[in-house]
Amino acid sequence: MAETSNFDSSVKIGNAVLKNSVGVASGTFGYGKEYEELLDISELGALFTKAVTLEPRPGNATPRIVETPGGMLNSIGLANVGTRDFFTKKYPYLRGLDTKVFVNLAGSQLEDYCESLEFLELNAPLAGYEVNLSCPNVKCGGMALGTDPFQVELVTRELRKRTDSPLIIKLSPNVTDISEIARAAEAGGADAVSCINTLVGMWIDTTKKRPTLSSITGGLSGPAILPVGLAAVYRVSQVVNIPVVGLGGIMEPDHGIQYLLAGASAIQVGTANFVDPSTAHRVVLGIEDYALRNGLRSIEDFHQFLGKKVVF
Amino acid sequence: MKGLEVMNQLSLRLRQNENLCGTYFRMEFEWPIELSPPVPGQFLTLRTGRGFVPLLRRPFAFSGFHPERRQAEIIYEKRGDGTTLLSELSAGTTLDVLAPLGNTFPFPKEGRRPLLLAGGIGMGPMFFFAEQLAQRGLNPLLVLGSRNSLQIPILPLFRMVETLIATNDGSRGFSGTALDCLSSYLEASPPEELYELYACGPYGMMKAGSSWAKDRNIQSWVSMEQTMGCAVGACMGCVIRVFAPQVDEGIDDPGSYARVCTEGPVFSGDLVDWEGAIHG
């Protein structure tokens, strides 16, 4: 394994150093423990928790999931235990993990985000935060906040005042120009942006003649959205100078490599965790193997091929 | 030896995949020597192919375990793209299986006769449980309800376990639902006999069974179904409404949700909020 030393797989986001570029996406990996028997979590560069809101949320009515061609729609509605129970029930396990844990924060309004973050900074500090400004399945906040550059900058700026830990803003693809939102996050002081969250989608039960999901529309994920995520990462990485975390439809190592080539500094495996829990493990190995075969010495080396600063 | 509670991603060799009757198939596959056998009530998920369509793993309840050849089995219905692909797999194929998942059917309290209500494809786990109960001398009564005689298999189990058959169209056995069949059978039983009810099948059947049991002060257990994402408790997709705090997640508002994959699939019938929208 002497060759391994030729490739430095680590990634820096803010003041956190991830051992490699591969994480697992929020909402697809619970709070880690759910998958501990299926995957060696210490192999991961990062773990992004299920979204946490200030108060507990029971989530949306059922059905919450429907499979679509090459993908799935979900409308979980941010079901979660809330920050206080996160601290008592999830944090003790998460803090012991040998990976960088990012808490995914969600909310309905600026004050919720601030209060959640303050509580977690004080009681449950982990590697950093991924701020979900882009959930398509909650009535107010979430995506509404994340589609307005002014709001994105404001929320980022307020959260930045409250933490020195890495702050990653998760972007919605359900906008006209995602790079504009990414620039707003950067201007507000974000350490990185992650893109993309799910795409708004719909599925109709033709027997019942009504939408399959209780919430009518949901968020589309899975391999069907891979090209959308790649294009978003490519465009965003052209216009910001902070790391981009790429996600959307990664099922195979090749998909993760495509994100890195598109400009991502780190990636997240999401829906694939449901399909094959060993995906993240395979992607870690596949990236390393690709780097060695292609003489790439770092994740930054992946970025040399598609160029930077292309104007759209 | 790994404990029951440990789930595994397994590559298992398919040994048999045959049409059982009508649209129902039975699949038997090798079970790893180092794992405890699956228990009635538990389920697995598997990939129906290697591609991305269909994407998600499919959940199936265990329908039996054969210690002499160390093989486990499921009974499934061919009804969509995934199960059609599954029905086409031949012996020798390697299956990508996540198992064992979920909880188990509790044994009845002492002195209570177990009544097993199986509706359609819900027969699989009920056969498994009936066999286990019979082996322990607990004298189960199995009531198997189906649409018509074509959907009723021929199994050696029926010689071991007292079995009643009901069909909706009256083409075999009792004409009507499995619950009506059970109810009329019990009218002839001694009134002092005590029971516990177990049901797996269509939502309507389990709802009616649960309500029937409640009216008679009988404890009921139902094996619930819901579309699943991860099947390991992470995604919060496969929930049903229940009248109790969710066991793990600690959301303690009344009218909460429980995950079928983790808190279930077997629930006390009293715990399920049958009026809450489950299948939309």
C-alpha closest to that of B121 among B70, B76, B164: B76
Cβ–Cβ gap B236/A66 under 8 Å:
no
Q: Give the DSSP H/E element, type plus range, for residue A11.
A: strand A11-13
| Residue A134 in domain | yes
Q: Which of the following is catalytic: A114, A135, A140, A195? A: A135
Per-residue pLDDT band for A311 (boundaries 50, 70, 90) equals very low
Q: Show residues of chain B in contact with A212, CB under 8 Å.
A: 280
Whose tokens are 């083409």? That residue is B171
> Nearest by CB to B251, which of A56, A74, A273?
A56
Q: pLDDT at residue B277 above 90? A: no
User: What average pLDDT does range A192-201 have in this prediction?
Assistant: 97
Q: Show residues of chain B in contact with A205, CB under 8 Å.
A: 280
Number of domains in chain A: 1
| Residue A181 in domain | yes
User: What average pLDDT does range B239-244 have in this prediction?
Assistant: 88
Q: Kindly tell me the burial class for residue B188, based on how many C-beta atoms sit within 10 Å of its own C-beta (0-12, 13-18, 19 or more).
A: exposed
Over residues A143-153, the pLDDT tens digits come to 678 899 999 99
| Residue A34 in domain | yes
**C-alpha dist (Å) from residue B209 to A14, A224, B103:** 57, 41, 20
> Nearest by CB to A74, which of B229, B233, B251?
B229
| Residue A209 in domain | no
* Domain B8-101: top CATH class: mainly beta
Encoding tokens for residue B147?
Answer: 């649409």
B104: Cβ contacts below 8 Å, ≥ 6 apart:
B39, B40, B41, B42, B266
Report which residue type is found at B15.
R
Encoding tokens for residue A34?
Answer: 């759910």
User: Residue B162 region, left (φ>0) first, then alpha (ψ -120 to 50), else beta?
Assistant: beta
Residue of chain A with shortest Cα separation from B81: A69
Q: What is the pLDDT of residue A307?
A: 76
> Nearest by CB to A59, which of B9, B227, B236?
B236
Whose tokens are 């228990």? That residue is B39
Q: pLDDT at residue A140 above 70? A: no
Q: Which domain holds residue A194?
A: 2-61+78-204+222-304
How many C-beta neighbours within 10 Å does residue A160 have?
14
How many C-beta neighbours within 10 Å does residue A5 have?
8
Q: What is the pLDDT of residue A108?
A: 86
DSSP state of B58: E
Question: How many angstroms away from the CA of B84 is the closest CA of chain A?
Answer: 16
> Nearest by CB to A62, which of B7, B229, B239?
B239
Per-residue pLDDT band for B189 (boundaries 50, 70, 90) equals confident
Question: How many angstroms away from the CA of A29 is the closest CA of chain B?
Answer: 5
**C-alpha dist (Å) from residue B217 to A9, A306, B220, B233, B270:** 63, 70, 9, 32, 11
Cβ–Cβ gap A62/B8 under 8 Å:
no
What does the alpha-carbon distance between residue B150 and residue B165 come to, in Å, rounded to a whole number? 12
Choose between A293 and B249: higher pLDDT. A293
Over residues B93-128, the pLDDT tens digits come to 999 999 999 999 999 999 999 999 999 999 999 999
Question: How many angstroms away from the CA of A73 is the closest CA of chain B?
Answer: 10
- CATH code at position A194: 3.20.20.70
Residue of chain B with shortest Cα separation from A31: B234
| Residue A235 in domain | yes
Query: Active-site residue A135, yes or no?
Result: yes
What does the alpha-carbon distance between residue A213 and residue A75 come to, in Å, rounded to a whole number? 7
Q: A99 — phi, psi (to 5°)?
A: -155, 165
Per-residue pLDDT band for A234 (boundaries 50, 70, 90) equals very high
Q: Which of A64, A89, A204 to mutate to test the interface with B (most CBs of B within 10 A)?
A: A64
Q: What is the pTM of this model?
A: 0.94
Kindly report the three-state secondary structure assignment for every residue of A268-279.
EECCHHHHCCCH
| Residue A69 in domain | no
Q: Show residues of chain B in contact with A34, CB under 8 Å.
A: 230, 232-234
Residue by residue, DSSP assigns A151-177 as HHHHHHHHHHHH-SS-EEEEPPSSSS-
Residues pairing with A22 in the sheet: A267
